[in-house]
Amino acid sequence: MLKLGLALCLSMLLIAPAHAADTVTIHLAGDSTMAEKLPEKRPETGWGEFLASQFKPGTVQVDNRAKNGRSTRTFIEEGRWQELLDATRPGDVVLIQFGHNDQSVEKKDRYTPPADYARNLARFVADVRARQATPVLLTPVARRRFDEAGHVLDSHGEYPDLVRALAASGQVALIDMERRSAAVLQESGVEPSKRLFLWVAVGESANYPKGVEDNTHFSPAGAERMAEEFAFALRQTGLPLALLLK
C-alpha cells in the first residue's frame, strides 16, 4: 500500500507542474519536421503544430522551440537549448527530436558526427532531469524515399539507433517516430504518400509559384498524421502525460 501511494504521488508530480497546476507544459526541441512555420513557408507544416490538439482541452501548453535547419550542435551553439532550459520548470515535459540535420554530412553548417550527436542528446537528457522535468527522446521522422519495389528506404543511417541506445541505457522514455512514420509511408504507398509531404503543383501556392516536390517536410495532412502517431505511441509508454490524451 505504501509503495502504491508513493507511485501515485510521483505520477501526480509529473503530471502537475509547480508553476501551472492545471496544465502541463511540453517543450519541443527539434528541427523543421517539428517546427512551427513562418507564413512564407506555408503550406509546409511541422507536426508539433498539431501536438496540443491530441490532448484534452486545457490540459497542456506546447512551447514549440523547434527550428528549421537545426541540429543538436547548432541548437546548442545558438543558445536555443539554454533558452529552453531557462523556461523549463519542475513537472514539465521536454520532447527531443533531432537527426535530419545532424546526419547531413554535406552541410557543414549543421552536420554533427554520430559520437557528438549521442553526447549532445545525453546532455539534453541530463539537463532536463536536473530541472526536475521529464525528457522524452524521439527518433527522427522518415523521409519519403522508396526503392523500385516500393519499399521505404532508410533515411538516417546510424542516428536513430543512437537515440534508441541512449533511451535504453539511460532509462529514458522513447517515441520511435522513425519506425512509426516509415510504417505510415509503407501503408500509404509511393503515390498516395505524396499528400503527406510538401508536394505543391505549379501555380497552386503563392509561396511556391514554380511548385515544389519536397520529401522531407510535411503538408498539413502529413503533420497532423505524425502528431496522431506520436499520441498513439505516447499512450503505450505508460508516462503520466499519456493520461491527458483525448
The packing angle between helices 220-237 and 177-188, to 10°, is: 130
Catalytic residue among 27, 49, 217, 219: 217
Q: Which residue has the cell 512564407?
A: 40
Catalytic residue among 27, 32, 156, 224: 32
Q: Is 100 a catalytic residue?
A: no
Residue 74 near residue 101 (C-beta atoms within 8 A): yes
DSSP state of 191: T
Question: How far is residue 242 CA from its own chain's centroid?
Answer: 16
Q: Which residue has the cell 490532448?
A: 55
**Alpha carbon distance 181, 42 (integer Å):** 21
Q: Is 32 a catalytic residue?
A: yes
**Alpha carbon distance 122, 120 (integer Å):** 5
Catalytic residues: 32, 213, 217
